[in-house]
Chain A
C-alpha cells in the first residue's frame, strides 16, 4: 500500500481507515487524540491533525468539540463499499498478471482460492456435476 513516498499523515489516515474497515474501531467510538498520536509515534501533533482533517473530509471521522474525534456512523459500510468496488482491479487483476508472468495456470489459482473457501467453512455453492471433488475435499 505504502510506497515509502507517502507522507506520515497519509499513513496515519490509512491506518485509521484500516481500523474502521476491519471493525477494530466501531461507529461513534473515539479515536486516539492528536496528543496521543504525537507522543506515541513521536511526531508533530499538526501531522496527526492533518490526517484527522482528511478523514473528516471523507466522512470517516467527525469531531465533537472539546472531546475529540469519533468514527462517523456508516463509515465502515462506506469504506467497505469503496474497497469492494476496487477489489477486482486492485487485488485480483495483479494476481492474474503475476500468475501469467510465473507461468502458473489460472486454474491452479482458482483451485487455491476454492481451498480457502473450504477452510473458512464459508457457505459453499451447491455441488455441481462438473466439479464433484470439491465437496469431498
Chain B
C-alpha cells in the first residue's frame, strides 16, 4: 500500500503545477483558496507537502501574476492569476499530459485486473 501511495505522490508532484495553473484559470485565488479548489476536484495535498514553494516558482518564472487584495475582515491576501505565459504553458502542459496519459493507457490496457470479491 505504501508503494501505491508513493506512486500517486510522484504522479501528482509531476503535474501539480499544471493543476494549480488550471484552478487559477477559474479566477484569481490566494494560497489556501487554491488548496480548497483542488480538494473540491478530488485532489488532496495532505500527503504531498505544501503548494507555496510551487507558487513561488510559478511567480518567479512569470507564469502567474500577483496582487494584494483586502479579504473579509482579515489582512490583505495575495491573489494569484494566470499571466499570458501561464496560459500558454497551461495549454501546452494539458496537451503533454493527454499525450502521456494516452500512451500509458495504451500500455496498461493490456493488463486485466481481477477484482477479488
A, B bound: no
